[in-house]
A and B are shown apart, each in its own frame.
Chain A
C-alpha cells in the first residue's frame, strides 16, 4: 500500500515529491518499488526500514546522486542539505574551513563564507573549535561539524542518511534534540532515515515504514506531538504506544523479505 501524505496543519510549499518511484539496478536487483511520498516545508518525515531496504537509495535518488528507473521525482536540487551517514569532513581542513566548503563551492566571497560558517558553527555548539582539525574531534563533534556544513546554505530541504548511527546514545539523543529545535526554528523540510524507531518518533511529524527489498512504503504514521519536544516525552505512555505500533508494522514489513 502506497502512502499518500495527509497534509499536516500548516504544511507549507512542496519541497520533495516522489510519485510511484522505482529503481531497478542494471544487474536486475529491484531496490525500490512504487514509492509515493511528499514532503512539505515544515514537515519532518522519517523513513524506518530494515537494513538494505533501499532507504538510502531513495535519498540518493532525491538528491540526484542516483537516477531512478520508474516514476517521477519533483525537487529543487539547487540547494539540498545532505547529511551523510559519516561526517565526510575533509581531514586537511579545520572545522571552520570544512564548514566554509559549501559556500566556497557555490562561489561566495570570503567575508560571506566566514559569516555563514561562524553562524552555523555557533548553531551546532562548536564555537571555540574553529581551528581544530577533524582528527582531534570526537565522533559527536564531527557530526555537529557536518551538520553545520549543511546549514550554511540554509537549504529548504534536508536529507538525512542515518546521520547519528555511529555516535553514542547520549550524544545521539542530544543531537536529536538539537536537530528538532533547529527544524522548529527554520521550518525546513526534512527527510530522515534511521533504524531507530524512538529517534524517528521523537523528531518527526510523520514516520513511514518501508518494507524489505524491494523497498516500498507499507504504512505511514502521523506523530501527534507538538514542538518543541522535551526529552521527557520519550518516557510517556503515548510515545511508547506509537513506538510499539510502528515496531509491529516494521517487523511485518521486514518479514516480507523471507517470503
Chain B
C-alpha cells in the first residue's frame, strides 16, 4: 500500500474574470463544433464532389455571396418564409387550443384519456406524405390544407406534454387540496394547471418548431397555391441553383431557431421565477 502524500491546495488560479470566463465557456464549444462542421462542408464540396458535380453542393462562402448576397432572391425567400410562418402560426394556435383542451379533459376523466389516446398515437404515426393527397382532395391545396398539416405535426407533443404536466402534481399536494375540500375545478385551476406550466412550455417549444416544419413540408408537397419556403426550395433545386436552395434551407433553419428562442424566452418569463429545471444548478 502506498503512503499518504498530503499536498497543499491553494485557491484555483483565475486568469479571466468570472463573467467573461463563463461567457467563453458558453460560446467557445459551439464555435469549435461549428468550425468542424464547416470544414466537413468544404470537404464535401471540394473533395467529394469533383468538377461539375460541385454544383450539387455549393461551399459555404458561395451560399453567402450568391445566396444571401442576391438581394432580389433573398427578398423572395424572406417573403415566402413570412407566408410559411403565417401558416405555421395559425396551425400552432389551433394545435395549442385543441391540445390543451384535450389534455385537460384527458387528465380529468380516465375514459376520455382511454378514448383519445389510441387516435393521438395513430395521428403521430401516420406518415404525412400519405396524408397529403387526402388532405388535398378534401380541402384543396390552399391555406386551410397547409394549416391542417401544421396542426397534425404539432398537436401530439402539445397533448403529451400538457397531459404529463397535469398528471405530475405531488400526492402531498393532492392530499392538501383533499383535506381542504377543494372542488375538482379548484384543484384543476389552483394546482394542476399552474403545476403543468413548465411541461406545457416544453411542449410549446417542440410544437412551435414542428408547426413551422409542417408549414414548409405542406408547401413542399402541395407544390401549388401561395408560395412558401417549401416551394422555393423545390424551385431552386429544379434550377440546380445550389446556393439559393441552401439559402432557403438556412432561412427556414434560422426561422426555426428564432421561434425556439422566443418560446424559451416566454417560458423563462412565465415559469422561470419559480421553476427549478432538472440539470440546472440552483436558482
Contacts and interface: CB of A to CB of B under 8 A. Distances in A.
Interface in A82-98: 82, 84-86, 88, 90-93
Interface stretch (A128-136, A165-173, A214-222, A225-233): A128-136
A70 interface: no
A106 B176 CA distance: 12
A250 interface: no
B172 A84 contact: yes
A64 B271 CA distance: 34
A191 interface: no
A106 to B, nearest CB: 7
Given A65-B175, A84-B175, A133-B273, A92 B197 contact: yes
B173 interface: yes
Contact of B186 (A64, A85, A105, A134): A105
A203 interface: no
A82 B182 CA distance: 15
B279 interface: no
Contact of B172 (A86, A92, A102): A86
B177 A92 contact: no
Nearest to B183: A105
B13 interface: no
B59 interface: no
Contacts of B283: 135-136
Contacts of A106: 180
A102 B274 contact: no
Given A92-B197, A92-B274, A135-B283, A105 B177 contact: yes
Contact of A90 (B182, B186, B194, B273): B194
Given A84-B172, A105-B186, A91 B179 contact: no
Contacts of A90: 173, 191, 194-195
A92 B271 contact: yes
A71 B178 CA distance: 23
B139 interface: no
A134 B172 CA distance: 16
A1 B273 CA distance: 53
Interface in A60-91: 63-65, 80, 82, 84-86, 88, 90-91
A64 B175 CA distance: 10
B170 interface: yes
Nearest to B194: A92
Contacts of B197: 92
A110 B173 CA distance: 22
A86 B180 CA distance: 17
Contacts of A84: 172, 175-176
B275 A91 contact: yes
Nearest to A82: B179
Interface string B174-200: 011111111000100011001101000
A74 B225 CA distance: 74
Nearest to B170: A88
Contacts of B195: 90, 92
Contacts of A104: 190
Interface string B260-283: 000000000001011110000001
B138 to A, nearest CB: 43
Nearest to B271: A92
A40 B7 CA distance: 63
B171 to A, nearest CB: 9
A206 B266 CA distance: 54
A24 to B, nearest CB: 21
B179 A63 contact: yes
Interface in A118-141: 133-136
A80 B276 contact: no
Indicate the member of A85, A86, A92, A101 with the most B CB atoms within 10 Å.
A92
27 contacts: A64-B179, A65-B175, A65-B178, A82-B176, A82-B179, A84-B175, A85-B172, A86-B172, A88-B170, A90-B194, A91-B274, A91-B275, A91-B276, A92-B195, A92-B271, A92-B274, A102-B180, A105-B177, A105-B182, A105-B186, A106-B180, A133-B274, A134-B274, A135-B274, A135-B275, A135-B276, A135-B283
Interface of A: 63-65, 80, 82, 84-86, 88, 90-93, 101-102, 104-106, 133-136
Task: Give the 3 A-B residue pairs with the shortest CB-CB distance, closest first.
Answer: A88-B172, A105-B180, A133-B274
Given A90-B194, A92-B194, A101-B176, 10 more contacts: A63-B179, A65-B175, A86-B170, A88-B172, A90-B191, A102-B180, A105-B180, A105-B182, A105-B190, A136-B283
